[in-house]
């Protein structure tokens, strides 16, 4: 699978920083690290789907693990609450929905 994870991370960050508000600067390194993990997970899922090693159900579970890790990491940033974190993650994933779903070949997000 040919997925530009760096471009994906920047697209996700661009969408997420608005909902993070004044805490965006402090959250950026955490968010970008977690968004990179999401990108790497999506790439692995895509490869696993192609080879038949991962089912769609497993793929959704694997992505949800990364979503929870991202929420946890962002909640560690002072000044961020659950609503801001949820909004930021939803915006980030929404920004790459077509890219991700096209890459894995089904509606993962």
Domains in the chain: boundaries: 26-101
| E strand intervals along the chain | none
Pick from 47, 51, 38: nearest CA to 109: 38
Band the pLDDT of 2: cuts 50, 70, 90: confident
In angstroms, the CA 78 to CA 75 distance is 8
Residue 1 has pLDDT above 80, yes or no: no
Contact criterion met (CB below 8 Å) for 101 and 109: yes
pLDDT in tens, 36-55: 999 999 999 999 999 999 99
42, exposed or middle or buried, with CB in 10 Å at 0-12, 13-18, 19+?
buried
């Amino acid at each position: 699978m040919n997925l530009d994870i760096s471009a994906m991370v920047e697209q996700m960050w661009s969408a997420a920083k608005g909902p993070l508000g004044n805490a965006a600067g402090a959250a950026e390194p955490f968010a970008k690290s977690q968004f990179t993990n999401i990108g790497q997970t999506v790439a692995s899922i895509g490869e696993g789907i192609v080879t038949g090693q991962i089912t769609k159900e497993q793929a959704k579970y694997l992505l949800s693990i990364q979503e929870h890790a991202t929420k946890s990491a962002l909640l560690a940033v002072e000044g961020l609450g659950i609503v801001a974190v949820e909004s930021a993650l939803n915006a980030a994933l929404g920004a790459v929905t077509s890219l991700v779903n096209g890459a894995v070949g089904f509606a993962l997000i």
